[in-house]
Amino acid sequence: MSLSDTIVRSSRRFGLAAAVLSFAACTAGAPAGGGAPLGAITPPDVTGEEIAVLTSPPNVPPPITRTTPTKMIVNLETIEKRITLTDGVEYSAWTFGGSVPGSFIRVREGDQVEFHLKNGPMSMMPHNIDLHAVTGQGGGAAATLTLPGAESVFSFAALNPGLYVYHCATSPVPMHIANGIYGLILVEPKGGMTPVDKEFYVMQSEFYTKGKFGDQGVFTLDMDKGTDENPTYVVFNGSVGALTGAGTLKAAVGERVRLYVGNGGPNLVSSFHVIGEIFDKVYGEGGSTINATNVQTTLIPAGGSAIVEFALEVPANYILVDHAIFRAFNKGALGILEVTGPENLRVINPIQAGTTPTPR
Ligand SMILES: [Cu+2]
């Protein structure tokens, strides 16, 4: 089935009138012609300007060392492209910046962000962006509905520190999100994040395709499975094995690691766990406060996030999972953090393997 077939069927399912109304609501308040906002405001405490460094998962832009707010220019493009969910399984995805999840954005509390959203010239669909870090209509969606080949611009104040999901909110919203068009934006607190040795960007999400896990072919969204919340794939960073093999995350004994973890959904809540580790600190639900210590598994709601930190005491292959465990071993939500360095037998000591039966 083609993309256009899918959207027509989807519109029928949602009710075309509702889809059109919703679409109109999304465009209300957008600047005429989708151009730059009238009367852009620069608060008196905002000085200079920077172009935001954007990174593809699992990479995170460098920490912000500025101590004063600036005008931060973000350039992000929606790109429709085919991605690989697993060997022999392709999916016609919609992305921010060409990756699933989309580019990681890092700004500072107090920054005035000038956001440029381009929609790639090869796109078939309009797209917009709802950043959960934004206060105001649609989190920016109302100001950014962008046709293929066009660009929208809006500005917002980064009022609240935290780790926020962003996603496309063009109607039908579930279809856009299910097709992979989401990512994370970190608003660093004014005092900055505590320094750590390694930071990684991990985002869980689901894909809904006809048939079973591993069935070969090129797929688009199966709206019935999406509505039933019955995903074929549950993955970290957009594909089965994105964080294993060549994509394995790497760190060393003695280092402190911070994971910025998001959940694009569109439906499931993640029971995020790292096998063999304990989260020393959790910024629950991606807020700016460490509200839990010594945590085994943290819940990450659909459209939400968490920041977890831990020290590495011994070498191991630590395994990132959604501890709703069939999702990890049967649907793809599994990654590896490979840690090398000296053993510490006080921390863990394999004394005797029970692989040889002892005579009775
Ligand atoms: Cu979209």
Can you give the three-state secondary structure of 58-114, one letter per residue?
Answer: CCCCCCCCCCCCCEEEEEEEEEEEEEEEECCEEEEEEEECCECCCCEEEEECCCEEE
Ligand 1 centre to CA of 146 (Å) is: 9
Cα–ligand 1 centroid distance for 71 (angstroms): 26
Cis peptide before 315 (omega within 30 of 0): no
Tokens of 154: 């809006």
What is the CB neighbour count within 10 angstroms for residue 316? 19
**Distance from Cα 29 to the centre of ligand 1, integer Å:** 18
Residue 320 pairs in a beta bridge with: 274, 335
| Cβ atoms of residues 185 and 137 within 8 Å | no
How many angstroms does the Cα of residue 170 sit away from the middle of ligand 1?
5
User: Mean pLDDT, to the nearest integer, of 31-58?
Assistant: 78
Residue 111: closest CA among 185, 56, 168: 185
CA–centroid distance, 234 to ligand 1, in Å, is 20
Distance 338 CA to ligand 1 centre (A): 35
Residue 200: strand pairing partners? 259
Per residue in 156-189, pLDDT tens?
A: 999 999 999 999 999 999 999 999 999 999 999 9
Residue 234: pLDDT band (50, 70, 90) is: very high
**Chain centroid, CA 33 distance in Å:** 30
pLDDT above 90 covers a percentage of the chain that reads 86
Q: What is the mean pLDDT of residues 229-258?
A: 98
Integer Cα distance of 235 and 209 in angstroms: 13
Report CA(98)–ligand 1 centroid distance (Å).
13
Residue 219 structure tokens? 């797929």
Q: CA 103, CA 95: separation in Å to the nearest integer?
A: 9
**Ligand 1 centroid from CA 125, angstroms:** 7
Residue 13 CA to ligand 1 center (angstroms) comes to 18
Provide the pLDDT for residue 33: 46
**pLDDT for position 38:** 57
pLDDT score of 360: 83
The pLDDT of residue 251 is 98
The rounded Å distance from CA 322 to ligand 1 centre is 26
CA 106 to ligand 1 centroid distance, Å: 22
Distance 339 CA to ligand 1 centre (A): 37
**What are the beta bridge partners of residue 153?**
116
Q: In angstroms, what is the span from residue 169 Cα to ligand 1's centroid? A: 6
Predicted confidence (pLDDT) at residue 27 exceeds the cutoff of 70: no
Taking the centre of ligand 1 as the mean of its atom positions, its distance from the CA of residue 327, in whole angstroms, is 26
Please answer whether residues 220 and 3 qualify as being in contact, where contact means their C-beta atoms are separated by less than 8 angstroms.
Answer: yes
pLDDT reported for residue 13? 41
CA 310 / ligand 1 centre spacing (Å): 35
Per the listing, tokens 């869980």 go with 204
Residue with tokens 């256009």: 4
Ligand 1 centroid – CA 138 distance (Å):
14
What does the pLDDT average to over 117-136?
Answer: 98
CA of 342 to the centre of ligand 1 (A): 47
DSSP-derived 3-state class of residue 357:
coil
Q: Please, what is the end-to-end C-alpha distance for the chain in angstroms?
A: 63
- When pLDDT is cut at 50, 70 and 90, the band that residue 359 belongs to is confident
Q: Nearest CA to 137 among 128, 125, 146, 148?
A: 128
State whether residue 275 is helix, strand or coil.
Answer: strand
Predicted local confidence at residue 6, as pLDDT: 41
- Give the position of tokens 């993955």: 235
Mean pLDDT throughout 276-280?
98
Distance (angstroms) between ligand 1 centre and the Cα of 224 equals 19
Ligand 1: centre distance to CA 168 (Å): 4
Quote the CA–CA distance of 344 and 342 in Å, as a whole number: 7
Q: What is the pTM of this model?
A: 0.90
- Rounded Cα gap, residues 304 and 302, in angstroms: 5
Q: How far is Cα 284 from Cα 153, in angstroms, rounded to an integer?
A: 32
Closest C-alpha among 113, 111, 125 to residue 75? 113
Q: Which pLDDT value is given to residue 301?
A: 98
pLDDT at position 39 is 58
**DSSP 3-state of 195:** coil
